[in-house]
Structure 1
């Protein structure tokens, strides 16, 4: 992405700034990263989307009080729409104590935006959910916590949203890696997700793993993802730890390919090790505008 697409030094009121190039981050004290997208396929008034990816809520690294603060800060941004692209619960391999899904969702239910809050599940929401493991993936604690909440779970479906006198579609797919550890494909079904989206309608896709972008699906001009944590280590642009079949191609930021846009949030939490090198946790704010 271009440097002018991202406000790397933006901080919210009341939080003590830290230099972007602070070498290590351990506790989740995220910065605010802004991306601006202008595209002719967006014909509605300007839209702002706040993204909270890869929360991995656990003690002591991203505890519930920290999540409560992040929620308050996100609400204060005044975004039109808030998206949660998966991995709400902790990586079981992380040396910490994961918080239960219902407690995590209870805090996230404090999020508020005019167009609402929507979520999809990430791979760790399946891999590290004890209910999913014990039920043969027939049940999921994150799903069961989200269903009665005000947060819309977009598991291979889309919703139509009205904005500024017009309409657009928000589609979501389930994790592409949900069952990988068991030798099975993911639970994503893009055709089901777009089944009710009219051809040519302005559509945004939320997918936990950014790799789906390589499929070239033109039904959405913008995809919003997480999963990578920005590689969790950024060595002068080289992100060797990026969990992607495409290396660092979709590791972080604003990617443009085939006339489409991909935003990959660096996320909030951690997996594997509670450590980030030159890749701080972030709240991502996407500003979508009419293009020429």
Structure 2
């Protein structure tokens, strides 16, 4: 009898602790990440709830200081979104709120990590919503596995219509006050037979280079020489996790290693992995809050 009462009480405690833990998982916090390569870069990480914006639980902020960041880009703010999977858990109201949130953040450029849709009929709406974001230095994108599996031609057409620059094994230059940084993007990172040579190899080691790839595995699978920072999605932060500490299912060859947040590959290059916004398989997130990443560059 006593044992039954214990398990019943424990179950109730666990049930009622869920909302509390969910709240604190997206509350404001701050911590520092120390570079494994002394003097090359440093990262300060913070976050706060995205109150009043449907389907985005938090803003995840990274202040990234690197020795290659030009002085003109000190303080430059880049937004990174990925895995909208429209329409999944993300519906029409949430899509409008993403546009509103990104405009309210007043970022200098918008970077997109792929897996935009859950059906060809949703492609025009999701790309129009991203195209409506005002980003003075432009909007740049790579695609995910969902985007390559279906509707690829529709995506190309809509991105061209909206002025979104698709970087498929290409690089583009952001210019500010006579200086520049480089954004490079990966074409279908799941096809290494075709795309197993990183687009960063031909770039200058003196430039500050951000590599966009849908899956973080690419940063480990191939040499990404000259990349100073990698931005990736795909994992959804596990989507359903045990208190944010462990995910039973992670769509990565490397398991928990590239689950979320800031990690490094074997060459000590930093990789920021976003939880993304939408969902796949089940329209459920548990201790893996949907998020928009804001990256503030600093001259080290």
| TM more than 0.5 | yes
Name 2:181's counterpart in structure 1.
168
Distance 1:73 1:186 in 2: 38
Name 1:255's counterpart in structure 2.
263
Name 2:6's counterpart in structure 1.
none
Distance 1:186 1:148 in 2: 31
Deviation, 1:272, is 1.0
Where does the alignment leave 5 or more consecutive residues of structure 2 unmatched?
A: 1-29, 33-43
Distance 2:202 2:224 in 1: 16
Q: Show CA shifts across 1:90-145 (max 9, x none).
A: 2x6xxxxx742122212211011121111111001122x1x45xxxxxxx321222
Q: Give the TM-score, by structure 2 length.
A: 0.77
Q: Show CA shifts across 1:234-267 (max 9, x none).
A: 3241122110000011111111343421111110
Which of structures 1 and 2 has the bigger CA Rg? 2
- Give yes or no for the alignment of 1:67 onto 2:87: no
Deviation, 1:223, is 0.6
- Give yes or no for the alignment of 1:200 onto 2:239: no
Name 1:34's counterpart in structure 2.
61
Distance 2:121 2:196 in 1: 29
- Give yes or no for the alignment of 1:8 onto 2:47: yes
Distance 1:190 1:85 in 2: 19
Deviation, 1:147, is 2.2
Conservation of the 8 A alpha-carbon contact between 2:233 and 2:276: yes
RMSD value over aligned CA atoms? 2.3
Conservation of the 8 A alpha-carbon contact between 1:175 and 1:209: no
Q: Are residues 124 and 261 of structure 1, via their aligned partners in 2, closer, same or farther at CA, if it must alter by over 3 Å?
A: same
- Give yes or no for the alignment of 1:57 onto 2:57: no
Name 2:298's counterpart in structure 1.
289
- Give yes or no for the alignment of 1:157 onto 2:185: no
Aligned partner (choices 208, 230, 233) of residue 223 of structure 1: 230
Distance 2:124 2:114 in 1: 15
Aligned partner (choices 123, 136, 139) of residue 101 of structure 1: 123
- Give yes or no for the alignment of 1:246 onto 2:254: yes
Deviation, 1:196, is 5.7
Greater shift after overlay, 216-225 or 267-276? 216-225
Name 1:46's counterpart in structure 2.
75
- Higher RCO, Cα 8 Å, sep 6+: 1
Number of aligned residue pairs: 255
Deviation, 1:199, is 4.0
* 4+ runs deviating over 6 angstroms: none
Q: Are residues 255 and 195 of structure 1, via their aligned partners in 2, closer, same or farther at CA, if it must alter by over 3 Å?
A: closer
SS state at 2:128 partner? helix
Q: Are residues 167 and 286 of structure 1, via their aligned partners in 2, closer, same or farther at CA, if it must alter by over 3 Å?
A: same
Conservation of the 8 A alpha-carbon contact between 1:205 and 1:222: yes
Deviation, 1:174, is 1.8
Q: Give the TM-score, by structure 1 length.
A: 0.79
